[in-house]
Amino acid sequence: DDYRWPSPLYDTLEQLLYEGRRADGSSLASLVHPCRARPDTNASIAAEWLRFAFHDMATHDIADGSGGLDGSIAYELSRAENFGVAFPSTLSDFEVYPNKYVSRADIIAIGAVFAVSTCSGPIIPFRGGRIDAWQAGPSGVPEPQQDLQTHKDMFTRQGFTTSEMIQLTACGHTMGGVRSTDFPAMVPPGPDTLLPVFHDFDTTTQFDNVVVTQYLDGTTQNPLVVDSNKTLTSDLRIFSADNNDTMHSLSSATAFASTCQNILERMINVVPHGVTLTNEITLLPAKVHDVQLTFEKGIFVFKAAFRLLQTQSSPINKQRTVKLLWCDRYGKNQNCNGNTRTSVPAATIEEDPGLSPVTQAQGYSFINYNFVVPIDAAGSISNFWFEVDEKDGKGPTSYKNGGDGYPVVQDQVLFVPTLSKAALVKNTTLTRRGGGAPITGLVKQYTLVAAVRSTNASNSRIYLNALDVAISGFPAPFNTTIDLQRNSSLPSIGGYDFYSGVLADTGFQLTVDINRVEADGTTYTDDFKQTTDLDNTPYVAPTNVTSTGKSSSSKSPAWRALDNLHTTQLVAGAVLVVGAVMNSLL
């Protein structure tokens, strides 16, 4: 495998798929998992999500490359082919999840993967990289009153043969059913007309072959097969389109699962021409995440989380020790030429095995080792790695990112969440796209703070890009750039000055990239920072640091004094003092 950290696109997609949540913890998977019904209705959320993906895809034209899974369905809900309450509910389920690296179309695809696996179906391999259309596209989703030839032509246009049309429809119509609120002639409403009555496609709510076996043995109650109005029995026409050959081939549970896995994978990978999908996003056995060099309570800290897999069948090894190790970026210990720093986790977090249906179905859960360590600003940090010792006599295993460790790409400009904040304010400035009246109501006003390494900073431009694509109704992304100004109310610490800027946003997931451009054009970026917690970030105190390594004899007395300080453990409270001493030496 050629994965190397950081790979923000891969890392972000991997987290959403296998942890079920976006970076700030909001869980997409928990909306549907475990195979849930929508509160206050009888609807299967999994069925709604799977159908949503089909309807977004179904407009594809393989000849001209238009349409496909591109999120255009958000703008197509007024069409008869997309009618019913399920579509707006699903759209709002997905609303808060897209961001810089995950398109709404990728979320629709992951939604289909979750939907199938949470109801005990196969795991559909997932690739990311779909691109959102941000506007309505062509129409062309099948409707039940259309004749067989029309349906065959539509699936041919999408790139599927008759047999594949049968497979896809059977794999779709194994969950959920027809609802009275949408088709009252097929499904008579109950006494409460607002509460839909469902006639399910088969007698199970699971993703299974029962839809096929009940069709073949004549016991099916699928309204699209048995309704007395033969105009609406599209499943009967489709399932029997090749003398039931395809339906017979789907009758065993294993054949159904593997055929559906393949054909649904193809379905979610139907994208407009010109869109290139990533490689399959597979579960990383050891993953680094939530890495941040920053200031907390006046201390320069490095934070990193290390995620390991845990098989659900075996207990966590309580003897295991996990260490973070790192090298200084500057000074005599640069690149661990002298000392190597090390520390133990500030917190160990066992994750709920039900975090993502896909991970759970593979028999895994996660355990996270979260590190928070004080960093001597003068020495800073260049790269880090982990050592895991199971205490089984085999010695520690190193996790070095396939080589030289995990890089701390830069320390020149750093987001400082804990000095940043967000407040709800009355809107005065934001207007609608394309002009018109200002948006009424409250907007979130952010004050965002960056730490800037003081070296030559007066010649640099410090600015941030703020992006929010999770906006109600998806009118357009919020995308803005603001320059940050030196904030004199925040005194400099350890060779860093603080800069800040203010912006307002109506969306649900603002992320910022903080940039520093030097006079010679060199650019440093602290990429894709979340703004959910900011000054409410739960505080975890830094752990002690141990320094190991041989001391060279050819050092100045001042360096020896520092060595002593380091080997006797650099504690959180002492870091600023040390930083000051070393600054004066460098």
Interacting residues toward ligand HEM by CB under 6 A: 43-44, 47-48, 50-51, 54, 84, 86, 142-144, 151, 168-169, 171-173, 175-179, 182-183, 234, 238
CB of 153 to ligand HEM, least distance (A): 11
Closest separation in Å from C-beta 41 to ligand HEM:
9
Helices (H), 430-539: none
In the complex with ligand HEM, the residue whose CB is nearer, 154 or 469, is 154
With tokens 């993906």, the residue in question is 53
Rg of the chain over all Cα atoms, to the nearest angstrom: 28
Closer by beta carbon to ligand HEM, 86 or else 375: 86
Q: In angstroms, rounded to a whole number, what is the distance separating the alpha carbons of residues 304 and 401?
A: 14
CB of residue 155 vs ligand HEM: minimum separation in angstroms?
7
For ligand HEM, which is the closer residue by CB, 238 or 450?
238
Min. distance of Cβ 28 from ligand HEM in angstroms?
18
Closest approach of ligand HEM to the CB of residue 285, in Å: 32
Identify which of 343, 363, 344 has the alpha carbon closest to the alpha carbon of residue 353. Answer: 363
Instruction: Give the residue with the Cβ less far from ligand HEM, 176 or 272.
Output: 176
Give yes or no for a contact between 207 and 120, defined as CB atoms under 8 angstroms apart.
yes
Q: Do 15 and 59 contact (CB within 8 A), yes or no? A: no
The dihedrals phi and psi of 210, each to the nearest 5 degrees, come to -60, -30
Residue 262 CB, shortest distance to ligand HEM, in Å, is 12
Is the Cβ of residue 54 or residue 559 nearer to ligand HEM in the bound state?
A: 54
Q: How far is the CB of 318 from ligand HEM (least distance, A)?
A: 44
Asked if 545 contacts 381 with a C-beta cutoff of 8 angstroms, the reply is: no
C-beta of 51 vs 566, nearer to ligand HEM: 51
| Distance from the Cα of residue 411 to its chain's centroid | 26
Burial class (CB in 10 A: 0-12, 13-18, 19+), 311: exposed
Measured distance CA(527)–CA(525) in Å, rounded: 6
Which residues make beta-bridge pairs with 289? 305
The answer to whether the peptide bond before residue 184 is cis (omega within 30 degrees of 0) is no
Backbone dihedral angles phi then psi of residue 127, each to the nearest 5 degrees: -115, 150
Q: At closest approach, how far in Å is the CB of 494 from ligand HEM?
A: 57
Considering beta carbons, is residue 127 or 179 the nearer one to ligand HEM? 179
Residues 6 or more apart whose CB falls under 8 angstroms from that of 220 comprise: 202, 211, 214, 226
SS3 at position 329: coil
In the bound complex, what is the minimum distance in angstroms from residue 254's beta carbon to ligand HEM? 19
Q: By C-beta, is 223 or 338 nearer to ligand HEM?
A: 223
Comparing CB distances to ligand HEM, the nearer of 12 and 209 is 209
What CA–CA distances, in Å, run from 375 to 324, 380, 382, 533, 573? 13, 6, 11, 23, 11
Which string of DSSP letters, residue by residue, matches 242-280? TTTHHHHHT-SHHHHHHHHHHHHHHHHT---TT--PPSB
Task: Please say which residue, 89 or 487, places its beta carbon nearer to ligand HEM.
Answer: 89
Could you list the beta-strand ranges (E) of 284-363.
Answer: 286-296, 299-311, 321-327, 340-343, 347-350
Contact 344, 408 (CB under 8 A): no
By CB atoms closer than 10 A (0-12, 13-18, 19+), residue 74 is buried
Asked if residue 525 lies in contact with residue 410, where contact means CB atoms within 8 angstroms, the answer is yes
The minimum distance between CB 246 and ligand HEM, in angstroms, equals 13
Closest CA to 450 of 402, 406, 507, 410: 410
> Taking the complex as a whole, how short is the minimal distance between the CB of residue 46 and ligand HEM, in angstroms?
8
d(Cα 321, Cα 335) in Å, to the nearest integer?
24
Give 116 or 466: the residue with its C-beta nearer to ligand HEM.
116
Report in angstroms how near the CB of residue 197 gets to ligand HEM at its nearest. Answer: 10
Instruction: Tell me how far, at minimum, the Cβ of 97 lies from ligand HEM, in Å.
Output: 20
Residue 31 or 448: the one with the smaller Cβ distance to ligand HEM is 31
Burial of 372 (0-12, 13-18, 19+ CB in 10 A): buried
Q: Which is nearer to ligand HEM, 140 or 549 (CB)?
A: 140
Return d(Cα 359, Cα 123) in angstroms, integer.
10
The whole-angstrom separation of Cα 196 and Cα 363 is: 36
- Tokens representing 114? 């979750």
